[in-house]
Amino acid sequence: MTANGWFQIALFSAALLVITKPLGIYVLKVYDGSMRWLAPLERVLYRISGVDRDEEQHWTRYAASMLIFSGASMLLTYAVLRLQQLLPLNPQHMGAVPDRQAFETAASFTTNTNWQSYSGETTMSYFSQMTQLTFHNFASAATGVALAVALARGITRHSAGKLGNFWVDLVRGTLYLFLPLSIILALVFVQQGVIQNFTQYVTVHTVEGAKQLLAMGPVASQEAIKQIGTNGGGFFNANSAHPFENPTPWTNFWQMLAIFAIPAALTCMYGRMANNQKHGWALWAAMFVLFIGGASTAYWAEARGNPIHAARGVDVVASAVNPGGNMEGKEVRFGIANSALFATITTDASCGAVNAMHDSFTPLGGLVPLVNMQLGEVVFGGVGAGLYGMLIMVVLAVFIAGLMVGRTPEYLGKKIQAREVQMAMLFVLIFAGSILVTAAIAAVSPAGLKGLNNAGPHGLSEIIYAFTSTAANNGSAFAGLSGGTYFYNTILGLNMLVGRFAMIVPMIALAGFMAEKRTVPASAGTFPVTTPLFVALLISVILIVGALTFFPALALGPIVEHFLMQAGRLF
C-alpha cells in the first residue's frame, strides 16, 4: 500500500462528500416538480402519452405502471435483438442474437443489471446498442430512482396514502437528471479521448507486424449513462478496462464518481423530504463506513499480493516503477489502488462496470465485491435501488432495536407493524433465496458445472458471484464462468427479473402502507435515527441480517481459498 494509493481513495471520498448536498438538492427539486426548464417538452410528452401530471397513484397502480412499462420495453428489446440483421445502423452486418441470449440481455438491461454474456463488439449492431441498450440504461435508471422517491414519499408524507405518479417521475428523472448529466459527462469523456463515432471497425498493423481489428462506435455517450445510471454494461467486452472506454486516470476518477453520485445524492434528498437532514446524513455515514471498509480491505488484499507469486521471485513490492502487489488482471494505468477502489465502488453500487478482472483478484480482494453485492446493494447502491434497499434495512433495524426503547417501533413518526415487517422480510428473503437456491442448483448440476473454467473453491466463487451479481442487479462478472450457455442464459435471466421485480413489489407495498399511516409527533421517547449509535446499529443489522446468511457459502468459496493460498495452493 502506498501513500499515493490512500491519497486517491481519500480524494475520491472527499469529492463524493462535496457533491452529495448540491446534487441532492437538485434531485429533490426534480421530483417535487419545481424544476421547470424543460416544461414545454414535458407537457408535450404528457399530452402524447395521455398522462395527467397531477394525478397521484395508489401503490398498486404505481407498481402496475412500473411493471407494464418494464415488461413492454423488455419485449421490444427482445424483438429488436432477434431482428437486428434487418434493421439499420449495422455496418458490421451482425446477425440475429440467439433466443436465450436475447432474452437474457433484454432482462439484463431492463433490470438495470447489464449482465453481458456476449461481447458487444461482435454481437450488437449500433442500432441495438443505441436504441435498445442505451434506452434501457436511461429508463431502468429513471425507474429505479422513481421507485426510491415513491418509497421516500410513502415514509415521509403525512397520511396521504398516495405515492406520486410513476409516469411523471419517469419523465422528470430522465429529462432533468439523467439526460443532462450524461451529456455533460459524455463531453468530458470525449475530451479525455473516449471515442464517439459510427465508423466501420478499423484494421491496424501492430508494431510486431500483426494485424488487429479495432472496434469502433458511439462509446462516450453510452459510457456516461453506463456510470451515471449505475448500469455497467460496457460497449466493449473489456468494459472500463478498455482504453477506448476508460483511457486515463481522470476518466477513471469521473467514472467512479459518476457511479456514486446519484445514490449518494439520494440520501440528502431523502433527509430533506423527511425534514430531518441529519437522518439523511446518518444513512450516508452508514453507507460510507461500509464502503471505506470494503475499499480498504480490497486495497490491502491486492497490495499485499499473492505469496505464491512472491515465492516464485515476482517483485510484489511497490516502488516508483512497480505498482507491486497483485497486478494480474489489472490495467497498468490504474494500478492497485484505483483497481481495488473501482471494484469496490462498482459492486457497492449495483453498477457492474469493471476496470479490472475481479476473477484475478486475491481471494480476499475478490471477496469484497462479492460481499458488497450480498449486502443487498445498499452501500450507496444502484440509482434508487440503493436507497430503497437501505430503507428496508432501516425498517428492520428500527423494528428489531426499536422495541428496546419501550414503544411500538416508530420510524420517522410512523409505526412499524406486522404488514411492514412482512414486506421488509419478503424483500430480504427473496434476495437471499434467489442467490442461494440458484447457485446451489448450478453447483451440483452438470449444466452448471460445464460453464466453469476453474476448479475448487475458486470455481464455487465464480458460480456464487454470477448468481449474486444477477440477483443483486449488479451485472459485473467474476469472469472465468462461461455464461453464454442455454442453462446460464435462462437461469441468470430469470434471476435478474426476480432480483428486480419480485423485490420491488413488496418494497412499493411497504411504501403504500407507510403512506397511509398517521405520523406521531417526535418526543424524548422517539427512537433516535440521527445518532452515531443508530449508524452503528444499522451497519450491524446489515451485516448480521444481510451478509451473515451467505457466510457458510462464502466459507467454501473465497474464504477457504484464501487460507489455501496462504498454504501454497492455487486454483
Chain residues in the site for another protein (CB under 8 A): 396, 399-408, 413, 416-418, 420-422, 425-426, 428-429, 432-433, 436-437, 439-441, 443-444, 449, 456-457, 459-460, 463, 518-521, 523-528, 531, 533, 537, 540, 544-545, 548-553, 555-556, 559-560, 563-564, 566-567
Nearest C-alpha neighbor of 256 from the set 187, 356, 183, 174: 356
Angle in degrees, CA 353, 438, 385, rounded to 5: 45
- CA end-to-end distance (rounded Å), the chain: 25
Cβ atoms of 101 and 122 within 8 Å: the answer is no
35, amino acid identity: M
Separation of alpha carbons 462 and 420, rounded Å: 35
Task: Match 407498481 to its residue by C-alpha cell.
Answer: 63
Read off the C-alpha cell for 406: 419501550
> Cell triple for residue 310?
512472491
Rounded CA separation 189/252 (Å) = 10
Nine-digit cell at 148? 426510491
Q: How many C-beta neighbours within 10 Å does residue 562 have?
A: 18
In 111-197, where does DSSP find H-type helix? 120-123, 126-127, 134-156, 166-172, 179-192
| Cα dihedral: 367, 369, 374, 379 (round 10) | 130
**Side chain identity, residue 527:** F
The secondary structure element, H or E, covering residue 213 is: strand 211-214
Q: For cell 453510452, name the residue.
A: 222
Contact 384, 178 (CB under 8 A): no
- DSSP assignment of 365-425, as one string? HHHHHHHHHHTTSTTTTSTTHHHHHHHHHHHHHHHHHHGGGTSS-EETTEE--HHHHHHHH
